[in-house]
Amino acid sequence: ERPKNGCPPTFTIQPDRTGEDLQGGMAEDPQIQTHGCIRSKGGDGMNAYMAYKVSTQTSLTMFHSKTFTVRRRFSDFLGLYEKLSEKHLQNGYIVPPPPEKSILGMTKVKVGKEDPSSAEFVERRRAALERYLQRVVSHPSLLQDPDVREFLEKEELPRAVSTQALSGAGFLKMLNKATDAVSKMTIKMNEQDVWFDEKIQDVENEEQHMRKLHVMVESLVNHRKELSGNTAVFAKSVAMLGSSEDNTALSRALSQLAEVEDRIEQLHQEQAANDFFTFSELLADYIRLLGAVKGCFDQRMKAWQRWQDAENMLQKKREVEAKLLWANKPDKLQQAKDEIAEWEAKVTQYEREFERISATVRKEVIRFDKEKARDFKRQIIKYLESLLNSQQQLIKYWEAFLPEAKAIA
Partner 1 sequence: DIPDALCERDKVKFTVHTKTTLSSFQKPEYSVQRQHEDFIWLHDTIVETEEYAGLIIPPAPPKPDFEGPREKMHKLGEGESSMTKEEYAKMKQELEAEYLAVFKKTVQVHEVFLQRLSSHPMFRKDRNFQIFLEYDQDLTVRRKNAKEMFGGFFKNMVKSADEVLISGVKEVDEFFEQEKNFLLDYSSKIKDATAKAEKMTRSHKNVADDYNHISGALNNIAADNNTAFKKHLEKCAEVFEKLRKVEDRMASDQELKLTELLRYYTRDIQAAKDLLYRRARALADYENSNKALDKARLKGKDVAQAEENQKQCLQKFDKLSESGKKELTSFKARRVVAFRKNLIEMTELEIKHAKNSVSLLQGSIEVLKSN
Binding site for partner 1 (CB under 8 A): 202, 205-206, 209-210, 212-213, 216-217, 219-220, 223-224, 226-227, 230-231, 233-234, 237-238, 240-241, 244-247, 249-250, 253-254, 257, 369, 372-373, 376-377, 380-381, 384-385, 387-388, 391-392, 394-395, 398-399, 401-402, 405-406, 408-409
Judged by CB, which is closer to partner 1: 46, or 194? Answer: 194
Cα–Cα distance for residue pair 317/325, rounded to 1 Å: 12
Judged by CB, which is closer to partner 1: 204, or 342? Answer: 204
Judged by CB, which is closer to partner 1: 245, or 344? Answer: 245
Judged by CB, which is closer to partner 1: 238, or 292? Answer: 238
DSSP string, 45-56: GGG-EEEEEEEE
Closest separation in Å from C-beta 400 to partner 1:
10
Closest separation in Å from C-beta 193 to partner 1:
20
CB 151 within 8 A of CB 76: yes
CB 36 within 8 A of CB 48: no
Burial of 189 per CB tally in 10 Å (0-12, 13-18, 19+) = exposed
Helix (H, G, I), strand (E, B) or coil at 289: helix
Amino acid at 250: L
Closest separation in Å from C-beta 232 to partner 1:
9
Judged by CB, which is closer to partner 1: 198, or 342? Answer: 198
Cα–Cα distance for residue pair 321/302, rounded to 1 Å: 28
Judged by CB, which is closer to partner 1: 38, or 250? Answer: 250
Closest separation in Å from C-beta 285 to partner 1:
15
Closest separation in Å from C-beta 23 to partner 1:
21
Closest separation in Å from C-beta 206 to partner 1:
6
The strand order across the sheet containing 31-39 reads 31-39, 49-57, 67-73
Cα–Cα distance for residue pair 358/308, rounded to 1 Å: 15
Q: State the alpha helices, DSSP H only, in 245-280.
A: 248-274
Cα–Cα distance for residue pair 252/246, rounded to 1 Å: 10
* Angle of helix 74-88 versus helix 168-184 axis, rounded to 10: 30
Cα–Cα distance for residue pair 295/306, rounded to 1 Å: 16
Judged by CB, which is closer to partner 1: 60, or 394? Answer: 394
Judged by CB, which is closer to partner 1: 62, or 373? Answer: 373
CB count within 10 Å of CB 219 equals 11
Closest separation in Å from C-beta 266 to partner 1:
15
Closest separation in Å from C-beta 409 to partner 1:
8
Judged by CB, which is closer to partner 1: 342, or 398? Answer: 398
Closest separation in Å from C-beta 27 to partner 1:
24
Question: For residue 136, what are the CA distances in angstroms to 16, 29, 93, 286, 347?
Answer: 12, 11, 11, 14, 34
SS3 content of the chain, % helix, strand, coil (to 5): 70, 5, 20
